[in-house]
């Protein structure tokens, strides 16, 4: 075999939890390390290590991505009460993804990985739909309050000179809940810019959806700034690239999406993007066939899988079962990061390897070697569904053969 491919600069490697942590190690061992002399700065974001470092490791990993420019991240548990008990946590740490996104800002692009033997469950879709999820603010960086009894709720803003503006939210008639959230003009504008840059690059029309008829000021601001960025910075460039931009209400967008042919970039607010990307991923085949990349307006990028830690599979794996968990999105997170590193460092050999690995992962599936989530949907139906170990071996042997 040829010598391993050298890397000029390191990437940030962020390890995670449960089943994806198991897959992560195997993908690295069998698909990356035999070919690449990996330079990586490693951060362990397992819940156990986040607890041990009182979550300091999460912010450190995000700052490392800012510094080095490229990161690859495994799925991580977002702690809740059940996890607090399960892992004996001192505190409910915030979602690591929310922490990383609030440091890097930016937009998450989610794109289904297309394989020829799987047809989307929406029969009219002919091309993939890419979701652009605004990755800053809204409910992901909000303040919440449990209200014990009746009383007045107000919104108060105090500017840096001490000037105060106060409006009523509601008169609570009894116990309940309140939520205060925000966004920043700069973040919304950079969201719009990232969307247009990505869309021009990929030649995709842009749809942006929000709910400005109800949220006239908050969502209205999103609509206004998105339009402003389009009109002042991108109108000519979009026309030159032959792509269009249009704004519509989120409910209208949903209706159009399931009747349309696909093949566009759907720019969504943070929560809409969270929900809609899982819908697009599932309807395109499987949650495990969705890539996800966070693009910061300052330049750095972080690649991950769109799915979570596949908790239920992990419990079965712990009992000794070789589960049929699909590692494709994790493989594409690695290839995305390596290809980006190659582009920034001008090391085409590394970029070429990333492409070969992606081709091997797709070719295995198209040749009938796939995990159960895909085997259920594939035409023709494969003889058997592989466990994750067998699938990774199938990709490894294709990669090896292609390498010789
Ligand atoms: P999940 O891990 O995405 O899994 C939900 C279900 O989707 C699984 O039970 C499985 O269905 C299917 N699935 C997802 N990925 C799969 C894969 N690679 N191969 C095969 N099937 C796959 O979501 P969850 O179970 O709701 O969440 C588990 C943990 O992940 C939570 O603690 C959550 O906080 C965390 N999470 C992390 C991230 C992230 O770090 N990016 C994102 C979302 C959730 P079947 O059981 O039917 O096979
Ligand atoms: Mg989600």
Q: In angstroms, what is the span from residue 352 Cα to ligand 1's centroid?
A: 30
Kindly list the structural domains of the chain, giving each domain's residue range(s) and its CATH number in brackets, ordered by start.
1-104+295-404 (3.40.718.10), 119-139+182-284 (3.40.718.10), 143-180 (no CATH)
Q: How many whole angstroms separate alpha carbon 404 and alpha carbon 387?
A: 26
The residue whose CA has the least distance to atom 11 of ligand 1 is: 310
In whole angstroms, how far apart are CA 114 and each of 135, 205, 375? 24, 19, 15
Q: In angstroms, what is the span from residue 164 Cα to ligand 1's centroid?
A: 44
- State pTM to two decimals: 0.87
pLDDT tens readout for residues 356-402: 999 999 999 999 999 999 999 999 999 899 999 999 999 999 999 88
Q: Name the residue among 22, 2, 68 with its Cα closest to residue 340.
A: 68
**Pocket mutation for ligand 1, best pick of 82, 284, 308, 374 (most atoms within 8 Å of C-beta):** 308
Number of the ligand 1 atom closest to the C-alpha atom of 77: 32
Q: Name the closest ligand to CA 309.
A: 1
The pLDDT of residue 7: 98
In the structure, ligand 2 is a single-atom ion and the residues with CB under 5 Å from it are 274
- pLDDT confidence of 403, banded at 50, 70, 90? low
Ligand 1 shell residues, CB under 6 Å: 75-78, 97, 287-288, 304, 307-312, 325-326, 373
CB 111 within 8 A of CB 358: no
Per-residue burial over 366-400, b if 16 or more Cβ lie within 10 Å, else e, is: eebbbbbbbbebbeeebeebbbbbbbbbbbbebbe
**Pocket mutation for ligand 1, best pick of 82, 135, 287, 329 (most atoms within 8 Å of C-beta):** 287
pLDDT tens readout for residues 174-213: 999 999 999 999 999 999 999 998 898 789 999 999 999 9
Q: Name the closest ligand to CA 282.
A: 1
Task: Tell whether the model's pLDDT for residue 404 goes beyond 70.
Answer: no
Q: In angstroms, what is the span from residue 280 Cα to ligand 2's centroid?
A: 12
Give just the sign of the alpha carbon dihedral 350, 355, 361, 364.
negative
In whole angstroms, how far apart are CA 154 and each of 15, 166, 176, 187, 264? 42, 7, 14, 25, 41
- pLDDT confidence of 31, banded at 50, 70, 90? very high
pLDDT tens readout for residues 87-145: 999 999 999 998 998 888 778 899 999 899 998 889 899 898 999 999 889 999 899 99
Q: How many whole angstroms separate alpha carbon 394 and alpha carbon 193?
A: 40
Q: How many whole angstroms separate alpha carbon 18 and alpha carbon 309?
A: 6
Q: How many whole angstroms separate alpha carbon 289 and alpha carbon 329?
A: 5
Number of the ligand 1 atom closest to the C-alpha atom of 76: 40
pLDDT tens readout for residues 207-240: 999 999 999 999 999 999 999 999 999 999 999 9
Mean predicted lDDT score pLDDT of the chain: 94
Q: In angstroms, what is the span from residue 32 Cα to ligand 2's centroid?
A: 27
179 Cβ partners below 8 Å, 6+ apart?
139, 142, 143, 144, 145
Q: CA Rg, the chain, in Å?
A: 22
Phi, psi at 43, each rounded to 5°: -125, 130
- CA angle 313/292/221 to nearest 5° reads 125
């Amino acid at each position: 075999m040829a010598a391993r491919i050298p890397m000029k600069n390191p990437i940030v490697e962020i390890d995670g939890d449960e089943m994806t942590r198991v897959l992560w190690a195997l993908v690295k061992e069998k698909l990356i390390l035999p070919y690449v002399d990996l330079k990586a700065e490693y951060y362990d974001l397992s819940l156990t290590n986040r607890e041990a470092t009182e979550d300091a490791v999460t912010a450190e990993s995000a700052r490392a991505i800012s510094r080095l420019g490229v990161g690859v991240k495994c799925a991580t548990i977002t702690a809740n009460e059940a996890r607090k008990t399960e892992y004996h946590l001192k505190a409910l740490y915030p979602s690591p993804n929310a922490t990383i996104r609030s440091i890097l800002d930016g937009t998450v692009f989610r794109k289904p990985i297309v394989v020829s033997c799987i047809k989307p469950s929406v029969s009219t879709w002919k091309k993939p739909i890419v979701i652009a999820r605004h990755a800053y603010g809204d409910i992901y960086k909000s303040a919440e309050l449990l209200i014990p009894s009746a009383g007045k709720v107000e919104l108060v803003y105090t500017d840096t000179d001490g000037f105060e503006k106060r409006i009523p939210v509601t008169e609570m008639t009894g116990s309940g809940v309140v939520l205060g959230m925000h966004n920043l003009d700069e973040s919304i504008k950079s969201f719009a810019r990232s969307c247009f840059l990505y869309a021009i690059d990929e030649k995709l029309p842009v749809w942006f959806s929000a709910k400005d008829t109800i949220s006239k000021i908050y969502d209205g601001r999103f609509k206004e700034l998105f339009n402003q960025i389009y009109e002042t910075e991108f109108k000519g460039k979009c026309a030159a690239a032959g792509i269009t931009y249009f704004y519509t209400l989120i409910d209208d967008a949903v209706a159009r999406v399931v009747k349309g042919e696909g093949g566009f970039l759907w720019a969504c607010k943070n929560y809409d993007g969270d929900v809609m990307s899982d819908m697009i991923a599932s309807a395109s085949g499987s949650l495990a066939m969705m890539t996800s990349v966070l693009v910061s307006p300052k330049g750095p990028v972080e690649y991950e899988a769109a799915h979570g830690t596949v908790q239920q599979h992990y419990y079965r794996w712990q009992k000794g079962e070789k589960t049929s968990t699909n590692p494709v999105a994790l493989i594409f997170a690695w290839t995305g990061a390596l290809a980006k590193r190659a582009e920034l460092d001008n090391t085409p050999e590394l970029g070429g390897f990333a492409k070969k690995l992606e081709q091997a992962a797709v070719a295995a599936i198209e040749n009938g070697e796939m995990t159960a989530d895909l085997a259920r949907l594939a035409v023709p139906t494969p003889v058997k569904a592989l466990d994750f170990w067998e699938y990774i071996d199938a990709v490894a042997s294709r990669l090896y053969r292609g390498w010789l």
